[in-house]
Structure formats: structure tokens, C-alpha cells
Amino acid sequence: MPTMPGLGETARAIVADGKGILAADETVSTITKRLTAREIESTADSRRAYREMLFSTPDIAPFIGGVILQDETIRQDSSTGIPLVDLLAGRGIIPGIKVDAGVHPLAGAPGEFVTEGLDGLRARFEEYRELGARFAKWRAVFVIRDGMPTGRCIYANAHALARYAALCQEQGLVPIVEPEVLMEGAHGLERCEDVTGRVLQAVFDELFDAQVSLEGMLLKPNMITAGQGFSRQATVKQVAEATLRTLTRHVPPAVPGIVFLSGGQDHVLATEHLNAINELDRPKPWKLTFSYGRALQDEALAAWQGRRENVPAGQQAFQHRAWCDSAAAQGRYSSDMEGAAFARAEAPPSI
């Protein structure tokens, strides 16, 4: 397995101490649903204005090592005419790109999905690299239900993730490998742990076969939680214990960072879970940090409401949550921070 030093450097920079990822790669259709749910019109310009608000938030560089964009955003310019990618790079934040073409029904497996997008991917990587992307993301999803996920669904998605990751590294970008076991369902924590373990094992088997350099990639998994419809939700400590146990069993220490998705968790709970994982007094050979979409953005979107005069309020909300999540990535978060204003003096020096 090759080591690819340049890729390892980028991967480690994204997850450097106290840094995580802002996932701002919602497709046009997903971000449109989020905007219209708040009665904000979704146009190319309103989507640009929203992303520009987040990307230009003051003092976030010590907390945000990378931002995942999608096809529309990576081609957009800021209101002052700078490409949004350059706005990020100029602040020391590494731009990345979502490259999968979404989930589609898996033939012969009713209710299950496979992620598409491998055709023509090499050329798309070339273009995105020219546009300034230095890492990429591909998301696979697994549903927990009676008899699901099937072995076939696990294999098909693990294989596609590995083909994507190998191609991504060939083109000089760091792959984020995202196998997401969905929170939907009435299953308990143990079932999520069993399924996530099987999925991770299959993914790393495929990554090994595809000769993917583990040092030059990041893993983006779900945390181990009970299903959203389960009557007895686990405690924060139980989630942390089960999550670290599963990762320890199935993720090689050569991987530099594990960047969790939030998956529909409430934003404060997502912060608490991350903090509890980092607080555990066990070996943690990888950086354990965030790559949150909803959990990082929900408060900012609510404060912004699509109005220019609310940009400072939206930025303040985003800055505060990024500050809390950065502390959680170091096991230094406390609930006192929820009521406190972000204090610049407490931020680690920006480099």
C-alpha cells in the first residue's frame, strides 16, 4: 500500500488540533428543502449568499480545517468577486468537494441503496482539482431494518467507496470515505454497533484490496446511537463508549482522522457526544473530530433567515457552534460554553 506523503499532509492539516470540517455540500435539492422550510427563497444567489456568510465568518480558522462544497458552490464567486474557494483558501481553510451522484435503489434489494457516480469520475476529479479542491467526499448509506442491511448492499457500497477512494488519491486529492448507517429506525444501540462494525470491516477490506493509502484518507462514520424511533435512548457516555469500541475494533490506526457526521442529532447533543468520545481515557490513535452539516449550520440558518441585516447574527451562531465543537474535538467542552460568548482570547492561535 503506497503512503503518498502529500496526501497525508493535507489529511492531517484538515484535522489538526481543534479543527474539524464544515459539511456545506448539500445538493441544490437538499439545501432548497432546508431554505424553503424557513420560508427563504432558494436561488443560485441566495444559496451563494448563505454559503458566503458561513465561509466569511470571522475567527473560525482555528476551528474549521476544511469545508466540503458541492458542484454549484465550487464555481461561485463571493459578492466581492472572489471565487468562494479562494475565499476559504485565503483564510487557511482547505476546500473539498462532494463527488458522488447520490443514492439510488439497489437492484434486487428492495429498500436498500447504492451510491452512484463512478462513471467519468477521473475527469471530474481533474476539473475539481483545477478549481481548487484538495479533498473529496463520497457518501454511502445503510438502512437498519429486519434483514437489512444485506451483505450485498454492504459489499456493493464498500466496493464503490474503495473505487472512488483509489481514483481520488490517483488524482492527488484526499478521499473522505463516508459509510453512513442511518439513524432512522426503532433499533437499539447494540444493533447499530453490530451493523456499523460489519460495514466498517467491509469498507476497510475493500480499501485494502484497492490499494488505498490509509495515511492519505479520512473516515467519516456515524456515531453508535439507538435508532431515532427507539424508546430508550442511550446516555451520552454509552454512545461514546460504543462508538470508540467499534472504531477501535475496525479502523486501522494508520488512518489520521475520523470525522463524524451528525446524521440528524440535535446540535448540542452532537457536541456532547464528540466531547465524551474524546474524554474517554483509552487509546485513540486517530484524531476524532467533526464533519457536521446540520449540527453546525442549524442555528446559523435560523438566525440568518435569508436577510442581509442578519448576517452578523448568523455568523455569530456559526462561530459559537464551531468553537464548541472545536473544544469537543479536544475533550475540553463544557455546558457553560453554551451560554457564553465566544471569546477570541480562548481560541488557539491561528496558523
- Interface residues toward ligand 13P, by CB under 6 A: 23, 139, 178, 261-263, 292-295
Instruction: Give least dist CB 328 to ligand 13P, A.
Output: 14
For 6, 143, 261, the CA distances from 162, given in Å and listed in that order, are: 20, 20, 19
CA-wise closest residue to 196 among 229, 235, 154, 165: 154
Beta partners for residue 137, in sequence order? 98, 176
Instruction: Give least dist CB 2 to ligand 13P, A.
Output: 27
Q: Which of 19, 98, 137, 220 is catalytic?
A: 220
Judge whether 127 counts as a catalytic residue.
no
Contacts of 319 (CB under 8 A, 6+ apart): 57, 58, 59, 60, 342
CA-wise closest residue to 142 among 165, 169, 170, 114: 114
Judge whether 338 counts as a catalytic residue.
no
- Which residue has the closest beta carbon to ligand 13P? 293
Contacts of 194 (CB under 8 A, 6+ apart): none
Name the residue nearer to ligand 13P (CB basis): 56 or 265: 265
Residue 45 cell numbers, joined: 444567489
Name the residue nearer to ligand 13P (CB basis): 98 or 124: 98
Can you count the helices (H) and strands (E) in the chain?
A: 13, 10
Name the residue nearer to ligand 13P (CB basis): 236 or 254: 236
Instruction: Give least dist CB 315 to ligand 13P, A.
Output: 19
Q: Which of 26, 52, 178, 299 is catalytic?
A: 178
Name the residue nearer to ligand 13P (CB basis): 149 or 263: 263
Instruction: Give least dist CB 303 to ligand 13P, A.
Output: 18
Residues marked as catalytic: 178, 220
